[in-house]
Amino acid sequence: MQGDRPNPMQRRPLLWTALVLLVVALLAMLVWLAGRYELSQIQSRLERDAADAVTDVQATLARNAQSLLGLPVGEAGPGAWTDEARAMLRQNRELVRIERRDSAMKLLDHVDTPYRPPVFDRLGHDVAQAEAAQACAAARRLSGPAYTSSFFAPSVDGLGVEIMSLCVPLEAAGRPGGYLVASYSLHEVLGSLAAGPHTRGYELAFTEGDGTRLAMRVLPRRGNRVFTAQHLLDLPGANLVLRLDSWRGTPDLFPNVLTALVATMSMGLLSVMALLGKDARRRLKAERDLADALAFRKAMEDSLVTGLRARDLQGRITYVNPAFCLMVGFSAEELLGHGIPAPYWPPEFVGEYQQRQAIRMAGNLPPREGYESVFMRKDGTRFPVLIIEAPLINAQGRQTGWMSAFLDISEQRRVEELSRTSQDRLQATARLATVGEMASLLSHELNQPLAAISSYATGSLNLLQQASPTAPDLSVDMALAMQRIAQQAERAGKVIKSVHDFVRRRDQARAPIAPRALLDDILPLINLQARKLSVRVEIEVESDLPPVICDGTMVEQVLLNLARNAMQAMDHGAITDRLLRIQVARVRGAGAAHWIEFRVADRGLGIAPTVEPQLFTPFFTTKDEGMGLGLSLCRTVVEQHGGALVFEPNVPQGTVFTFTLPVARVESPQAA
């Protein structure tokens, strides 16, 4: 089919692009290959020079070894040997010392170079003696010259020189006749080497096998790239690495004439290709712009979830997008050209909508924020929509109709209704949770005053039953018991009010209270339970403590809960020393002067590691009759007062619970 044939206008840009890419790739490859060739030439020349330099060094060292053998030894006398040695040192600056030793390596005579101070004056001769002894032993085994490994000899001026010694064995009448030891300065060896034809212009260095530099000759750097060549200097008894560094500038973009010519021709070809393609681009520009505009519009139509509709000034539909068709259930063919009334208008609203359209056609602009309406799908179902309309202006600036945007807000209405229902349910649940929390706290906190009332009432009944005509008057004891019952009943009422305010998150009535007064109010209840459980109670209150600012009833409940838990923790047959210690003191340390610390310590079995992470979790308890709210309530009360409730092991056994309360501030009188 004709529609399946490739369009030549579409293939042409691809061909042009491919041609341009090939030419550019060819140009880049030529330049890169030329640069790589030049770098390889530089490196090869450097490798050759390094090999030649090593050969020169070996030749120089061998020549010096032969010269040492030519020094007069024996009949000529030591004076002739010294003169010849000095002459040799003057001719070879790399030699810094020549020694003559006997077969036992004892120094017979030596001569130092006249060009520098003696190198062994500061180092001492022991290190050189040890190195020379090893080299001479090797020379005797090899029956030829042997070298030592290099060592550093510091000089008097604070610097130093790297030394390598040569040992040449001597023979007299076929028997060992001693040794000649010559010491080389590696730096001077590099200096003599730098003057050679193969190493001129290079940085030279002697290094060890691991790259450690022993001596080097540095030149001013004249480039930003270094080329390096290394060659092994293999000597009997020692190995050195000669390193040559050549600093050069990075090769130019066009390193030779051939590359420049190829690049120029390639750029000319690219210029001709650009001129030929310019005309084709001009002819295709208009067609491409139109195709891009159509593709852009089609992409917007397919991606929008907002319904779009265009109408002319007579109210006929001239355009609808796919989202609008999907919204109302009609196809574009069914809607295009349709006038008023529209097929998606509900019959019961046709009159109202026609009146609204008449006002619109009269030129009255709709509100910019839009308005809500009701449409009808093809199957008859109604759904709410939000309509936003604007005038449709053509390229000449004239209005040709109206453009409308539609949003289906049925899902939004459903979510809003669900949100309102969920909010009502959450409020009801919150009220129920508050009632439950309040009931739980009351049942937990009222146990203590009610237990006390029960104990006092039982004691009163026992007194009445044991009364006899001859017994003393019981009115005093009965009055005390009734007073205690009244106090605990009043305390129960305060607990109910405090818990009620605590659950409703009201600000509790806080007042300055002496720490001793907090303990005195609950001490009868503590002693009552302590007698039942055979627990000794010790109270330690630091003197001159300032009052604390707190809700007295709630803090007393905290102390009572902690003391009761401590005594119950010691209610075990294996514990004989049952001691409850309550301490009140100032908090020690910097910045802690405004806090009072309460400590409740027991000597029970302690808290198991598996229980510690959830010790303060509400409704978690290890007691069969417990509710799991005591410690949770205690921590909440302390934190509402700004303090902290923590615990730690007691020594030698048991647990210590500690909490802090703020000191009441004393306000200074204001000036009149």
- What's the Cα-to-Cα distance from 219 to each of 191, 202, 244, 462, rounded to whole Å? 12, 7, 11, 115
pLDDT for 1: 43
Question: Among the listed ranges 36-45, 374-383, 495-504, 599-608, which one has the minimum average pLDDT value?
Answer: 495-504
For residue 441, name the pLDDT band (cuts at 50, 70, 90): low
Reply yes or no on whether the pLDDT at 483 is more than 80: no
Please tell me which residue, 633 or 549, carries the higher pLDDT value.
549
Which of 137-141, 193-197, 405-409, 518-522 shows the lowest per-residue confidence on average (mean pLDDT)? 193-197
Q: Which residues contact 530 (CB under 8 A, 6 or more apart)?
A: 536, 537, 567, 580
**Per-residue pLDDT averaged across 588-616, rounded?**
84
pLDDT exceeds 50 at position 347: yes
Q: Is the pLDDT of residue 76 over 70?
A: no
Q: What pLDDT shows up at residue 657?
A: 95
Asked if residue 23 lies in contact with residue 211, where contact means CB atoms within 8 angstroms, the answer is no
Quick one: pLDDT at residue 672? 34
Which residue type, as a one-letter code, is found at position 115?
Y
Please give the pLDDT value at position 622.
Answer: 76
Domains in the chain with CATH codes = 51-248 (3.30.450.20), 304-408 (3.30.450.20), 423-506 (1.10.287), 508-672 (3.30.565.10)
Task: Please tell me the least confidently modeled range out of 27-36, 57-66, 379-388, 610-619.
Answer: 27-36
Judging by DSSP bridges, how do beta strands 238-248 and 203-207 pair with one another? antiparallel
Q: Which has the higher per-residue pLDDT, 15 or 132?
A: 132
Tell which residue, 413, 350, 417, has the closest CA to residue 386.
413
Give the model's pLDDT for residue 112.
Answer: 86
Task: Find which of 97-101, 247-251, 451-455 is predicted with most confidence, using mean pLDDT.
Answer: 97-101
Is the pLDDT assigned to residue 368 strictly greater than 70?
no
- Average pLDDT (638-650) is 90
Residue 661 has a pLDDT of 93
Q: How is 102-123 classified by DSSP, letter by letter?
A: -TT--EEEEEE-TTS--THHHH
Write down the pLDDT at residue 369: 66
SS3 content of the chain, % helix, strand, coil (to 5): 45, 25, 30
Residue 66's pLDDT is what?
86
How many other C-beta atoms lie within 10 A of the C-beta of residue 651?
A: 9
pLDDT band at 254 (very low <50, low <70, confident <90, very high): low
Choose the most confident range, by mean pLDDT, from 35-49, 179-193, 208-222, 442-456.
179-193
CA separation, residue 267 to residues 35, 257, 260, 272, 312 (Å): 19, 15, 10, 9, 57
* Mean pLDDT across 338-345: 85
Tokens of 132: 């020379």
pLDDT at site 366? 63
Least confident of 162-171, 299-308, 513-522, 536-545: 299-308
| Region 485-495 average pLDDT | 67
- Separation of alpha carbons 484 and 482, rounded Å: 5
**pTM for the model:** 0.38
pLDDT(573) > 80: no
How does residue 470 score in pLDDT terms, banded at 50, 70 and 90? low
Six token digits for residue 337: 């050209």
Own/partner long-range contacts of 514-520 (Cβ < 8 Å, ≥24 apart): 514/545, 514/547, 515/541, 515/545, 515/547, 515/548, 515/584, 515/596, 515/598, 516/541, 516/545, 516/584, 517/552, 518/548, 518/550, 518/552, 518/555, 518/556, 518/559, 519/559, 519/582, 519/584
Q: What is the pLDDT of residue 515?
A: 92
CB atoms near residue 327 (< 10 Å) = 22
Give the Å distances, CA to CA, from 100 to 108, 168, 182, 473. Answer: 5, 10, 9, 130
Cis before 341 (ω within 30)? yes
What does the pLDDT read at residue 582? 94
Higher-confidence residue of 305 and 601: namely 601
CA–CA gap between residue 258 and residue 603 (Å, rounded): 98
Among 37-51, 438-452, 636-650, name the one with the lowest average pLDDT: 438-452
Least confident of 48-52, 209-213, 350-354: 209-213
pLDDT classification of 463: cutoffs 50, 70, 90: low
The answer, yes or no, to whether residue 439 has pLDDT greater than 80, is no
Helix (H), strand (E), coil (C) string for 451-475: HHHHHHHHHHHHHHHHCCCCCCCCH
pLDDT surpassing 70 at residue 334: yes
Q: State both tokens at 278.
A: 């310019």
Residue 153, CA distances (Å) to 158, 305, 410 in order: 11, 88, 96
CA distance 554 to 511: 12
CA–CA gap between residue 659 and residue 563 (Å, rounded): 13
Among 312-321, 377-386, 507-516, the least confident range: 507-516
State mean pLDDT over 151-162.
75
Q: Which amino acid is located at 384 in the chain?
A: P
Q: Which contacts of 455-458 are long-range, i.e. CB under 8 A and separated by 24 or more positions?
A: 455/528, 456/481, 456/484, 456/485, 456/488, 457/481, 457/485
The rounded distance, in Å, linking the Cα atoms of 238 and 308 is: 92
Q: What is the pLDDT of residue 655?
A: 93
Angle at 144 between CA 143 and CA 146, to 5 degrees: 120
User: What mean pLDDT is predicted for residues 204-215?
Assistant: 82
pLDDT of amino acid 651: 87
Q: In which residue are the tokens 């540095």 written?
A: 218
Q: What is the pLDDT of residues 24-67, one digit of tens each?
A: 777 777 767 766 777 787 788 888 888 888 888 888 888 888 88
How far is it, in rounded angstroms, from Cα 462 to Cα 603?
Answer: 34
